[in-house]
Amino acid sequence: MSEKKTIPAPLANEGLPPEERGLFCDAAPREYEPARGAWERFLNWARSESLWLLGFGTGCGAIELRPLMTSRFDMYRYGIQPRPTPRQSSVFVIGGYASVKTLKRIVRSYEQMMGPKFVLALGSCTINGGMYWDSYNTIKRIDQYIPVDVYIAGCMPRPEALLAGFQELKRIIKSGGGEGQNEYARNFDWYKANQKKVIKDWNMPDYNW
Amino acid sequence: MNELAKELAGRYGARGWHDIRKDLASVEVDAIRIRDVMAYLRDEAGYGHLSFMTAIDNIERGAFTLSYALRDHDARRGLIVHADVDRAEPTVDSIHLLWGQAWTYQREMREWFGIDFPGSPRVDEEFVLEGWEGPPMMRRDFDSLAYSDATYAERPGRVTHDPASHMREKLYPEAAQ
Amino acid sequence: MRREKQRVIPPAERATPDLDSGKYLVMWQGPQHPGITGNMSLRLVAEGDTVVDCETHVGYLHRGFEKLMERRLYMQNFPLVCRIAVPEPDFNEYCYAAALEELAGIVIPEKAVWLRTLSLEMMRLASFLMWIGGQAGAFGHGTIAQWSVTMRDYVLDLFEELTGGRIYHMYIIPGGVRGDVPAGFYKRVLETMAVVEKNLDDIELVMFHNAVFKMRAEGLGYIPRDWVDHYGITGPNARAAGVARDLRKDSGYLAYPRLDFQPIVGTESDAYERARLRLGEMYQAIDLIRQIVDMAPKDGPFRERLPNPLYWRIPAGETYVSAECTRGEYGFYVVSDGSDKPRRVAVRGPSYTHAVSVMERLVRGVNIADVAGLMVSLHTYPPEIER
């Protein structure tokens, strides 16, 4: 993974006023280098068993998170719990369609999350636009803007489907997958170009670390 | 009921009173008198509740038709007041002093249709959109699909059928051929 | 002892605070914030820990429904309308269906009238159960949500049996309802209602007699009676201020004129009173559901034949149909130009006024920690603001 290390140029942060540019990071994200052998497998096990998700209901899928959090479906059984801030969370649940205004906050929240981080995208609208395929304000596929680990189809996905999605995510992490964060670092320029194409008034730092 | 129609016609030149159903009617006035009509309806005629206001783009005759829906809760009836404004230069008097929520609707119409309401608070701020560069999107000549295709990347593999022809082919394959 | 009521600030007194003075702190509550209903945000200006000014920012959930509906056939719009308000889609379906029926001159069969009423009342109960969990949670009382959201799930199970969908039902279609009642359904409805009612008794004991909840909610967010007309406040927020307005009684749509109920009216008009009133409406919904099960016709057609939906043209005209949803007056304004697609569909959501104009006024002078509780006590839901 580290055979070809290119040092990316510092980010320009052109969306910010000049006096604020110094306040934000200007380095692009770097790939995570896994530890060796059994230690990394232990780490992956630990990561998969404590998935803390970001409490950001970005769309209508958030309504099925409420039954999931409470006693009937009870996701705490699986070590999953909501956290209020991106700094403490490792899973971002995109709850359905993302309008452009929300996408800006999604990108910002995703970049603020500590690695390793994973994205779970709910609903048909994150996959191909769903029933908002001709809407002028919703994006059609979320994986153009942030990397996605697991999709859960449906409109809306039932709590059982969400639990199955979380189990699938656990399996992926345990088997050493869940490379979304590295993919984002590797294709950073491509993701940024896509984001800036849609978000017309880019007034935040290029990498919200 | 028709006393109100006569009263409105006499005072403000209202026309076209139409009973949609037994507790809902519509009437048309000139846009320049909209604030007077609204004040009269609120204070004198008992229509104290503004349900909503919106606009309809009548592109064929080059006008936006504003609709103000009022309700008289005591008499249990509603009234929709229409007013046409020129589509090329849409400017209407603001009614934000009459009702406390009207400014939000006016802000919405400013953004969605491009209708200006001078004096309405925060009317030029963005309401639901952010960084929008296209024309006001609720106008009939704005094509949502074309904009979406041009702006957002699509996942390949999605097939769209015209419902009518698709069902015809599915149900009556011999007739379609 | 109730806390002293908040001072009412007349509109002209809204002074824009001087942000450069260093006296104020500007902070955003939302969209990524646990103390916000749905996906919206408040820009708060605080002095110490008291909010002095607030701006509501909406639009994070804007999907352009009203534009999309102009592009689709009348029947194709059906899956769209229920998605405008996620916690209670049935009110959207009813208003849209009733508007189309009125324009097209369709009369629905008697059984459909009762099934629609049943569906709306069950939705009301489910939505309030979701809400009460949020209201308690906003004041740091997590247990209630564990109970009430599970109770809501039992109601959703009934919906699943009746309509096949948990959240989005698409049950009330023009001309009637989409399906008949399954065998033994009414019995299970009554069983679930007994369970929910018992749980509501527990919730009342634990939540409404809790000193913390009482202290924080009493006196919070006082809505004076004369704001009701000025701001177009409807629903429980208006009834808690002593204005007995209930479209179920006033308009008398569906089977409501034949049901025995009275609008619940409060006096104090603060967050506690509104919560209490909504609890009362939950009991009322259970009572109405029992009456409906008792009185609904057991056989007969459940929908009227419609013309081919692909070629369904509706005569030119306009209408506005409103219904009393859990938050207030919900309405659909449909304009038809005689073609197979609507000319204009406008949605009137009660949150439009509650979450923007009223919220911006009420929040001044409130402690930052109480903003979330105040927001929930107005029972706002952002998608119906921005559609």
Q: Give the pLDDT score at A4.
A: 52
The burial of C293, by beta-carbon neighbours within 10 Å (0-12 exposed, 13-18 middle, 19 or more buried), is given as middle
Distance CA B69, CA B101 (A): 13
Phi/psi region, residue A132 (left: phi>0; alpha: psi -120 to 50; beta: rest), is alpha
A:B CB pairs within 8 Å: 55
Residues of chain B neighbouring C67 (CB-CB closer than 8 A): 137-138, 142, 144
What is the DSSP-derived secondary structure letter of residue C323?
E
Q: Check: CB of residue A7 under 8 Å from CB of residue A162.
A: no
Q: Residue holding tokens 């919106």?
A: B54
- Please give the average per-residue pLDDT across C244-266, as a whole number: 88
Distance CA C251, CA B73 (A): 10
Q: Give the pLDDT score at C200.
A: 92
Helix segments in A91-199, DSSP class H: 100-112, 124-128, 159-174, 180-186, 188-198
Percent of chain A exceeding pLDDT 70 equals: 96
Please calculate the CA angle C386-B60-C316 and round it to the nearest 5 degrees: 75
Partner-chain contact C59 B76, CB within 8 Å: no
Helix segments in C105-221, DSSP class H: 110-138, 142-163, 185-203, 211-217
**Could you tell me the two tokens for A35?**
């530890």
Q: Does B137 touch chain C (CB under 8 A)?
A: yes
Radius of gyration over alpha carbons of chain A, in Å? 17
User: Which chain B residue has its CA at the smallest distance from C350's CA?
Assistant: B51
Which is it for strands B15-21 and B24-30: parallel, antiparallel or unpaired? antiparallel
Partner-chain contact C167 A70, CB within 8 Å: no
Distance CA A42, CA C126 (A): 43
For residue C55, being part of any structural domain is answered with no
Position A46 pLDDT exceeds 50 = yes
- Please give the average per-residue pLDDT across B90-106, as a whole number: 88
Distance CA B156, CA A48 (A): 32
- Please give the average per-residue pLDDT across A60-76, as a whole number: 85
Backbone phi, then psi, for A117, in 5-degree steps? -135, 150
Q: Which of A138, A186, A204 is nearest to A28 (CA)?
A: A186
Backbone phi, then psi, for C202, in 5-degree steps? -65, -45
For residue C329, being part of any structural domain is answered with yes
Beta strands, E only, A19-168? 51-54, 80-83, 91-95, 118-122, 150-152
Please calculate the CA angle C127-A92-A148 and round it to the nearest 5 degrees: 120
- pLDDT digit string (tens) for C64-105? 888 888 888 888 888 888 888 888 888 999 999 999 999 988
Q: Write the single-letter amino acid at A193.
A: A
Q: How far is CA C56 from CA A62, A100, C145, C263, C352, in A?
A: 21, 18, 26, 31, 11
For residue C17, being part of any structural domain is answered with no
Q: Residue holding tokens 């005591």?
A: B74
Q: Which domain holds residue C235?
A: 65-349+366-386
For residue C168, being part of any structural domain is answered with yes
- The three-state secondary structure class of A146 is coil
Q: What is the DSSP string of C253-268?
A: -TTGGGS-------SS
Backbone phi, then psi, for B75, in 5-degree steps? -85, -5
Structural domains in chain B? 2-176 (3.30.460.80)
- Please give the average per-residue pLDDT across C253-258, as a whole number: 88
Least confident of A55-64, C167-176, C250-259: A55-64
Identify the residue among B21, B26, B38, B52 best suited for mutation to test binding to C, counting C beta carbons within 10 A and taking the highest. Answer: B52
**Could you tell me the two tokens for C80?**
């769209």
CB atoms under 10 Å from CB of B114, counted, come to: 16
Backbone phi, then psi, for A62, in 5-degree steps? -65, -20
For residue C22, being part of any structural domain is answered with no
Distance CA B106, CA B38 (A): 15
Partner-chain contact B26 C318, CB within 8 Å: yes
- pLDDT digit string (tens) for C5-56? 444 444 445 567 777 777 888 888 878 887 777 788 888 888 888 888 888 8
Q: Does A109 touch chain C (CB under 8 A)?
A: yes
Q: Does C225 touch chain A (CB under 8 A)?
A: no
Number of independent structural domains in chain C: 1
Identity of the highest mean pLDDT range in A10-14, A205-209, B50-54, C250-254: B50-54
Which A-chain residues 72-91 have CB contacts (< 8 A) with chain C? 72, 82, 84, 86
Sign, CA torsion C128/C133/C134/C136: positive
Q: Give the pLDDT score at C10.
A: 44
Sign, CA torsion B7/B22/B53/B135: negative
**Strands of C317-324's sheet in order across:** C317-324, C329-336, C344-348
Position C283 pLDDT exceeds 90 = yes
Residues of chain B neighbouring C361 (CB-CB closer than 8 A): 100
- pLDDT digit string (tens) for A144-178? 899 999 999 888 888 899 999 999 999 999 888 88
Q: Residue holding tokens 């996905």?
A: A157
Q: Write the single-letter amino acid at A163.
A: L
Nearest to A97 among C63, C80, C145 (CB): C63
Q: What is the DSSP string of B130-143?
A: SS--SS-TTSTT--
**Strands of B24-30's sheet in order across:** B15-21, B24-30, B77-86, B63-72, B49-58
Distance CA C249, CA A200 (A): 48
Domain boundaries, chain A: 52-198
Q: Which of C326, C330, C352, C323 is nearest to C123 (CA)?
A: C326
Q: How far is A191 from chain C (nearest CA, A)?
A: 21
- Please give the average per-residue pLDDT across A65-77, as a whole number: 87
User: Which chain B residue has its CA at the smallest distance from A203's CA?
Assistant: B131
Q: What are the beta bridge partners of residue B54?
A: B67
**C1 confidence band (pLDDT: 50, 70, 90):** very low
Distance CA C358, CA C228 (A): 10
What's the CATH code of the domain at C87?
1.10.645.10
pTM of the full predicted structure? 0.89
- Please give the average per-residue pLDDT across B92-99, as a whole number: 88
For residue C41, being part of any structural domain is answered with no
Q: Give the pLDDT score at C199.
A: 92
Distance CA B103, CA B125 (A): 12
Partner-chain contact C59 B54, CB within 8 Å: no
Residues of chain B neighbouring A138 (CB-CB closer than 8 A): 152
Q: Which of B132, B31, B148 is nearest to B91 (CA)?
A: B31
The alpha carbon of B128 is separated from its chain's Cα centroid by a whole number of angstroms, namely 17
State the Cα torsion A72-A75-A76-A81 to the nearest 10°.
Answer: -130
**Could you tell me the two tokens for C119?**
């569906």
Partner-chain contact C319 B48, CB within 8 Å: no
- The three-state secondary structure class of C118 is helix
The alpha carbon of A10 is separated from its chain's Cα centroid by a whole number of angstroms, namely 23
Burial track C145-172 (b if 16+ CB lie within 10 A, e otherwise): bbbbbbbbbbbbebbeebbebbbbbbbb
Distance CA A144, CA A137 (A): 16
CA atoms within a 13 Å half-sphere pointing along the CA-CB vector of A207: 18
The alpha carbon of A73 is separated from its chain's Cα centroid by a whole number of angstroms, namely 23
Q: Residue holding tokens 């989409």?
A: C178
Distance CA A162, CA A75 (A): 10
Distance CA C171, CA C78 (A): 10
Q: Give the pLDDT score at A6.
A: 55
Residues of chain C neighbouring A58 (CB-CB closer than 8 A): 31, 39, 60
**Could you tell me the two tokens for C106?**
């369709």
Q: Check: CB of residue C185 under 8 Å from CB of residue C162.
A: yes
For residue C75, being part of any structural domain is answered with yes
Nearest to C31 among A64, A105, A155 (CB): A105
The burial of B33, by beta-carbon neighbours within 10 Å (0-12 exposed, 13-18 middle, 19 or more buried), is given as middle
Query: Bigger pLDDT: C103 or A209?
Result: C103
Q: Residue holding tokens 């009937």?
A: A72
Partner-chain contact C344 B78, CB within 8 Å: no
Query: Within chain B, what is the greatest distance between any pair of CA atoms?
Result: 67
Rounded-to-5 percentages of helix, strand, coil across chain A: 45, 10, 45
Partner-chain contact C346 B99, CB within 8 Å: no
Q: Check: CB of residue A108 under 8 Å from CB of residue A208.
A: yes
Q: How far is A198 from chain B (nearest CA, A)?
A: 7
Q: How far is C319 from chain B (nearest CA, A)?
A: 7
Q: Which CATH class is domain A52-198?
A: alpha beta
